[in-house]
Homo-oligomer: A and B are copies of this chain.
Amino acid sequence: MVRCTYARVSPRDHETTGGTDMAKKAPRRTAQRILEAALDLFNRFGEPNVSTTLVAGELNISPGNLYYHYPAKEELINRLYEGYEAELNELLHASEGVHDVEDAWFFMHTLFELIWRYRFLYRDLNDLLSKNRHLETQFQLVLKNKSRAIRQLIAGLSRAGHLEIDVHEVDTLAQSMVVVLTYWLSYEYVRNPREALEPAHAQGALMRGAHHTLHQLAPYLGREQRRHLLTLSHAYNGEDAGQHPSSSSNATPRVDMAV
């Protein structure tokens, strides 16, 4: 079974020696509150649409106070990114503990929960990359690490005798899974820009994302594990995915549906 622990977003140790007495008193707390407010606003409205002045206004602090903690918006973004990266790398290591589709489902769902909490990074990813040198280099590593974790997950299922795939197809499968994993929330956003990324839609979006990412494994799974995966998807997704998992098996009836 996969075990995951989370590190919380935490501000860097406050190194500035200047500032007012008030700012000195509770620098950690204010820096942390700024991070949390920025994350919330970026997630809701998109990072390009949120100024530092808006973040300060949300917290009822002066722009100068925010500037004291984060002299540029880019620093705010980079601090949030570092929190995401730390959690992601810890979580991706858990792919080594995946031995069956139940582990895989739990792993994928936890990964989507993390992506959801930092969804602003994914919402305007290319725009962020074109403006931010640090993200530009670091996000390449994110994709590589995700890809390695998915290959480990596939290898774990294979070692347990649950999955059969030609070794030359593994990388293609892993990369397609990484693309669906990385861009599922963007896909949900395009389909429903006004609501998809609001908290009320989290559960459905995460479940659909995990379902579609993992379903790419389905045809390579043994009969029992395949059925179990479809049952898990059905149990969690409700009517959105795999409405009739009981009828799904390796004995695949031909499809000739009206489209």
A252-B184 in contact given A191-B140, A257-B151 (Cβ < 8 Å):
no
Question: Which one, A28-36, A105-113, A124-132, is touching chain B?
Answer: A124-132
A189-B151 in contact given A159-B256, A184-B179 (Cβ < 8 Å):
no
Question: Which residues in B have their C-beta under 8 angstroms from that of A168?
Answer: 242-245, 247-248
Number of copies: 2
Q: Would you give the 0/1 interface string for A157-184, flagging 1 where the beta carbon is closer than 8 Å to chain B?
A: 0110001111111101101101110111
A211 at interface, CB cutoff 8 A: yes
A123 at interface, CB cutoff 8 A: yes
Residue from the list B165, B193, B255 in contact with A167, Cβ < 8 A: B255
A18 at interface, CB cutoff 8 A: no
A256-B216 in contact given A127-B127, A168-B244, A193-B129 (Cβ < 8 Å):
no
B158 near A190 (CB under 8 angstroms)? no
A204 at interface, CB cutoff 8 A: no
Shortest distance between the CB of A98 and any CB in chain B (Å): 12
A252 near B165 (CB under 8 angstroms)? yes
A183-B172 in contact given A255-B166, A255-B167 (Cβ < 8 Å):
no
Shortest distance between the CB of A56 and any CB in chain B (Å): 22
A152 at interface, CB cutoff 8 A: yes
A126 near B247 (CB under 8 angstroms)? no
B256 near A129 (CB under 8 angstroms)? no
Residues in A44-80 with C-beta less than 8 Å from chain B = 46, 48-49
A164 near B254 (CB under 8 angstroms)? yes
A212 at interface, CB cutoff 8 A: yes
- Give A136 to B191 CA distance when docked, in angstroms: 9
